[in-house]
């Protein structure tokens, strides 16, 4: 079987876990317990690692055509298959809890995958191929037919029940393969329920009732979010994706639903993105504020403050597990070949133990953004966090680190890290009157100004005519585009304007895809959306708008972005759906709406 393109996958979510379903009807990724848990289907990373396909017999052959769309403002995916014998729709969803509405979505998700087949025209022969392989493909379960026509699968810590409201299911040795016919007007529903061998058992749900409830839950959720800006047809779906990547129990947002989808085919930058990054925090909070509502922003902020805990001598990690776990020690899965044979497949992410000096700036920016909601006097925990982060920056800003892109070679004095140190102290000075008697704004301001002078002196390269990625380096880095976004320099300041021009000249493709650095093999969507914001801030509104529309065109047929775009083919690369890409779109759309925003 040919590996589907990354853009061939749609995304399902119950705000606890995420699944990927291909255009040909195969669920090739699902971690039912939580986003960063263990997969029961992982064929996206290895051909033998499990899948659940539901499609017409002979799908992909002559006369077969597929149309897909989400029910508006939901992550309920409807795939219509047109065949020579007729047409059939398959609607896929991860079930919401019965009766859940608005912000209740995902708080107690039942862990059930719903698949409903509806005959539209003619008579279509369908094939069900259910191959569960828990533990990222390491386990092959026993399958047992049940008196009610369902099939029980047991292996290790996992229990699964596949049910149907139609004919009884027949179990093979290690899979269920079954063909059945659907006529126009006929509906057949399937429910796949996840449970724990030594804990909560699977919960069987009626597929048709549950599908209707899930659609209503999503629609009610999105109705509470009013986006007043331009490009709502693009922003609202991206906001829905951010909601879908939210782990409702804590409020954390996963950077992506997947692990190890490669940034370059044949490369080695295949990382686990199913965690929540503090580096993305202020950008994420900004996007939530614009396109969602204060509820999501306040829950994310509360999760961050709880996860950080009391500030000590250790640097705050750049990434946490979705319930605030710190130790995300990375390991490889040699039994998985990787997407399109591109390994290694990694579980965990060793970025958690890197020194990342930019983290406090992200948090302090968010505190400043929420200041009117946090009150004129901060409570003890918030005050201690802000004071701890500020003093940590004051004492460590001169150290090298791994930088925004989490390099795994030597530490350097990265421009973006130093600028975020400036941001942290700048916001601390502005917040000093809320921090009590231990606030020291005069000293903080002096260090802030020293950082600024250092960045302007050491970060600028006369020969290149631009700010470069690290002090003393001649290598461009697109992260310099975020300097105006955080108000370090105005976009129209001569050196900043020159840097934007050089990045456009040397890191941009003809249609505006921006690479992060000179040797980066792909365009990084977030950087292109940063360029949109910079162009708006330099008064080039028309160019910014044209670039925004071109970048939006890289979404797949159901509006999803991965992390990067292949420069030659335009294919999506990297983990998907990627929160940062959708965040970049939302923030750029708002900048186009209000150039003075933020």
* Model confidence pLDDT, tens digit, residues 524-548: 999 999 999 999 999 999 999 999 9
Residues above pLDDT 70, as percent of the chain: 99
Distance (Å, whole) CA 533 – CA 484: 9
Model confidence at 101: pLDDT above 90: no
- Answer yes or no: is pLDDT of 495 > 70: yes
DSSP H/E element including 394: helix 380-396
pLDDT score at 65? 96
- Number of other residues whose CB lies within 10 A of the CB of residue 46: 21
Instruction: Report the CATH number that the domain containing residue 408 is assigned in CATH.
Output: 1.50.10.10
> pLDDT value at position 102?
66
- The pLDDT of 455-467, averaged and rounded, is 98
pLDDT at 51: 98
C-alpha distances (whole Å) from 469 to each of 222, 246, 279, 416, 547 are 39, 31, 17, 7, 23
26 in a structural domain:
yes
Q: Which residues pair with 41 in a beta bridge?
A: 30
d(CA 96, CA 109): 6
Helix (H) / strand (E) containing 289: helix 281-291
In a domain, 295, yes or no: yes
Average pLDDT, the chain: 96
Task: Give the closest residue to 309 by CA, choosing from 388, 394, 424, 369.
Answer: 388
User: Is there a single domain that holds both residue 77 and residue 130?
Assistant: yes
Average pLDDT over residues 7-19: 97
Return d(Cα 407, Cα 448) in angstroms, integer.
Answer: 26
Number of domains in the chain: 2
Phi-psi domain of 395 (left: phi exceeds 0; alpha: psi -120 through 50; beta: other): alpha
Residue 146 shares a structural domain with residue 295: no
- In this prediction, residue 432 carries a pLDDT of 97
Helix (H, G, I), strand (E, B) or coil at 173: coil
Q: Could you tell me the two tokens for 258? A: 């997947």
What is the extent of the structural domain holding 375? 232-323+344-593
Residues 240, 95, single domain; the answer is no
Smallest Cα–Cα separation from 278: which of 306, 258, 249? 306
Count other C-beta atoms under 10 Å from residue 501's C-beta.
Answer: 13
Whether residue 124 lies inside any domain: the answer is yes
Cα–Cα distance measured from residue 55 to residue 64, given in angstroms and rounded to the nearest whole number: 11
Q: Are residues 101 and 122 in the same domain?
A: yes
Q: Which residues of 372-403 are buried (b: 16+ CB within 10 A; e: fewer)?
A: eebeeebeeebbbbbbbbbbbbbeebeeebbb
Among 240-249, 359-368, 373-382, where is mean pLDDT lowest?
Answer: 373-382
| φ, ψ for residue 286, nearest 5 deg | -60, -45
Same structural domain, 271 and 385: yes
For residues 209 and 273, membership in a common domain is answered with no
The answer to whether the beta carbons of residues 459 and 413 sit under 8 Å apart is no
Beta strands in 313-445 (DSSP E): 319-320, 331-332, 346-347
Question: Does the pLDDT of residue 106 top 80, yes or no?
Answer: no
pLDDT tens digits along 282-301: 999 999 988 867 788 889 99
pLDDT digit string, tens, across residues 188-244: 999 999 999 999 899 999 999 999 999 999 998 878 788 999 999 999 999 999 999
Out of 193, 223, 253, a domain closes at 223
User: Is pLDDT of 178 > 70?
Assistant: yes
Structure tokens at 245: 């990547």
pLDDT winner (highest mean) among 216-225, 366-375, 409-418: 409-418
Is residue 575 over pLDDT 70? yes
Q: Are 134 and 40 in contact (CB under 8 A)?
A: yes
> 505 with 569, same domain?
yes
Q: Please indicate, yes or no, if residue 334 is contained in any of the structural domains.
A: no
Query: Which CATH number does the domain housing residue 64 bear?
Result: 2.70.98.10
**Residue 575 structure tokens:** 């983990």
Q: Is residue 1 part of a domain?
A: no
Task: Identify the three-state secondary structure at position 576.
Answer: coil
* Reduced DSSP (H G I as helix, E B as strand, rest coil) percent helix, strand, coil of the chain, to 5: 35, 20, 45
139 and 185 together in one domain = yes
Q: How far is CA 458 from CA 29, 451, 467, 474, 564, in A?
A: 46, 10, 9, 12, 30
Domain boundary among 166, 195, 223: 223
**Would residue 194 count as lying in a domain?**
yes
Q: What is the DSSP letter of 3?
A: P
Neighbouring C-beta atoms of residue 106, cutoff 10 Å = 23
pLDDT, average across residues 49-68: 95
Helix (H), strand (E) counts: the chain? 13, 24
Residue 486 lies in a domain: yes
3-state class (DSSP) for residue 171: coil
Tell me: pLDDT of 361 over 70. Answer: yes
What pLDDT is attached to residue 105?
A: 79
pLDDT of residue 373: 87
**416-437 average pLDDT score:** 97
In this structure, are 179 and 43 located in the same domain? Answer: yes
| Residue from 252, 283, 244 nearest 588 by CA | 283
**Mean pLDDT, residues 551-575 taken together:** 97
Residue 335 located in a structural domain: no
pLDDT at 1: 62
pLDDT at residue number 99: 82
Band the pLDDT of 98: cuts 50, 70, 90.
Answer: confident
Q: Give CA–CA dist 273/253, Å, rounded.
A: 11
Please determine, for residue 104, whether its predicted confidence score (pLDDT) is greater than 80.
no
Same domain, 238 and 217: no
Q: CA 336 to CA 416: how far, in whole Å?
A: 35
Contacts of 462 (CB under 8 A, 6+ apart): none
Q: What is the pLDDT of residue 123?
A: 97
Question: What are the φ and ψ backbone dihedral angles of 488, each rounded to 5 degrees?
Answer: -75, -45
CB atoms within 10 A of CB 250: 20
Residues 386 and 463 in one domain: yes
| Encoded tokens for 425 | 């102290």
d(CA 180, CA 96): 28
Angstrom distance (rounded) from CA 536 to CA 516: 20
Same domain, 399 and 263: yes
**Domain end marker among 223, 252, 267:** 223
Instruction: Supply angle C-alpha 374, 423, 285, rounded to 5.
Output: 45
Measured CA angle at 154 (ends 153, 158), to 5 deg:
110
Poorest-confidence range of 98-102, 116-120, 250-254, 392-396?
98-102
Please state, for a pLDDT cut of 90, what percent of the chain lies above it: 90
**DSSP state letter for 389:** H
pLDDT at 589: 98
State the virtual CA torsion across 570, 575, 576, 581 in degrees, nearest 10.
-70
CB 354 within 8 A of CB 402: yes
> How many other C-beta atoms are found inside a 10 Å radius of the C-beta of residue 433?
10
By the 8 A CB rule, do 575 and 273 touch? yes
Q: How many CB atoms lie within 10 A of CB 20?
A: 26
Q: Confidence class of residue 54 from pLDDT cuts 50, 70 and 90?
A: very high
- Please tell me the least confidently modeled range out of 10-19, 80-89, 296-305, 449-458: 296-305
**For 131-166, what is each residue's pLDDT tens digit?**
999 999 999 999 999 999 999 999 999 999 999 998
């Amino acid at each position: 079987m040919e590996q589907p393109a990354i853009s061939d996958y749609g995304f399902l979510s119950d705000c606890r876990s995420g699944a990927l379903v291909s255009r040909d009807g195969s669920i090739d990724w699902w971690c039912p317990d939580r986003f960063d848990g263990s997969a029961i289907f992982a064929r996206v990373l290895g051909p033998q690692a499990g899948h659940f396909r539901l499609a017409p017999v002979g799908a992909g052959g002559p006369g077969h055509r597929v149309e897909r769309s989400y029910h508006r403002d939901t992550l309920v995916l409807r795939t219509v298959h047109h065949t020579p014998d007729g047409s059939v729709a398959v609607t896929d969803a991860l079930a919401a809890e019965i009766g859940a509405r608005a912000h209740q979505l995902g708080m107690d998700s039942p862990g059930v995958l719903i698949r409903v087949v509806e005959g539209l025209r003619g008579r279509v022969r369908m094939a069900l191929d259910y191959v569960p392989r828990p533990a990222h493909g390491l386990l092959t379960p026993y399958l047992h037919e049940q008196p009610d026509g369902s099939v029980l699968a047991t292996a290790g810590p996992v229990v699964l029940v596949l049910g149907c409201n139609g004919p009884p299911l027949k179990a093979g040795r290690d899979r269920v393969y079954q063909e059945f016919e659907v006529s126009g007007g006929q509906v057949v529903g399937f429910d796949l329920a996840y449970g724990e061998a030594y804990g909560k058992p699977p919960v069987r749900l009626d597929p048709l009732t549950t599908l209707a409830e899930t659609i209503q839950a999503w629609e009610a959720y999105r109705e509470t979010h009013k986006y007043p800006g331009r490009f709502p047809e693009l922003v609202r779906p991206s906001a829905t994706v951010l909601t879908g990547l939210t782990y409702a129990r804590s409020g954390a947002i996963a950077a992506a639903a997947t692990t190890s989808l490669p940034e370059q085919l044949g490369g080695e930058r295949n990382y686990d993105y199913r965690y929540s990054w503090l580096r993305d925090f202020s950008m994420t909070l900004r996007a939530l504020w614009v396109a969602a509502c204060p509820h999501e922003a306040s829950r994310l902020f509360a999760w961050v403050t709880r996860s950080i805990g009391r500030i000590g001598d250790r640097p705050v990690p750049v990434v946490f597990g979705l319930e605030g776990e710190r130790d995300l020690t990375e390991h490889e899965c040699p039994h998985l070949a990787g997407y399109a044979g591109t390994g290694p497949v990694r579980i965990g992410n060793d970025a958690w133990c890197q020194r990342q000096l930019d983290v406090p700036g992200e948090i302090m920016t968010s505190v400043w953004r929420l200041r009117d909601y946090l009150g004129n006097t901060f409570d003890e925990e918030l005050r201690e966090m802000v004071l701890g982060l500020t003093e940590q920056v004051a004492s460590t800003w001169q150290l090298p680190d791994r930088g925004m892109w989490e390099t795994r070679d030597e530490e350097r004095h990265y421009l973006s890290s130093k600028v975020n140190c400036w941001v942290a102290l700048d916001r601390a000075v502005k917040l000093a009157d809320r921090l009590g008697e231990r606030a020291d704004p005069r000293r903080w301001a002096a260090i802030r100004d020293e950082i600024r002078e250092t960045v302007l002196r050491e970060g600028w390269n006369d020969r290149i005519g631009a700010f470069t990625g690290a002090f003393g380096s001649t290598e461009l880095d697109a992260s310099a585009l975020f300097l105006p976004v955080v108000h370090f320099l105005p976009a129209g300041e001569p050196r900043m304007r020159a840097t934007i021009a050089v990045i456009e000249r040397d890191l941009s493709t003809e249609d505006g895809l921006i690479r992060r650095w000179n040797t980066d093999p792909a365009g990084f969507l977030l950087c292109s959306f940063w360029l949109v914001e910079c162009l708006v801030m330099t008064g080039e509104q028309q160019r910014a708008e044209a670039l925004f529309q071109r970048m939006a065109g890289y979404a797949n047929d159901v509006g999803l972005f991965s992390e990067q775009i292949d420069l030659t083919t335009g294919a999506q690369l990297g983990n998907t759906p990627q929160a940062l890409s959708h965040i970049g779109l939302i923030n750029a759309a708002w900048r186009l709406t209000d150039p003075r925003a933020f």
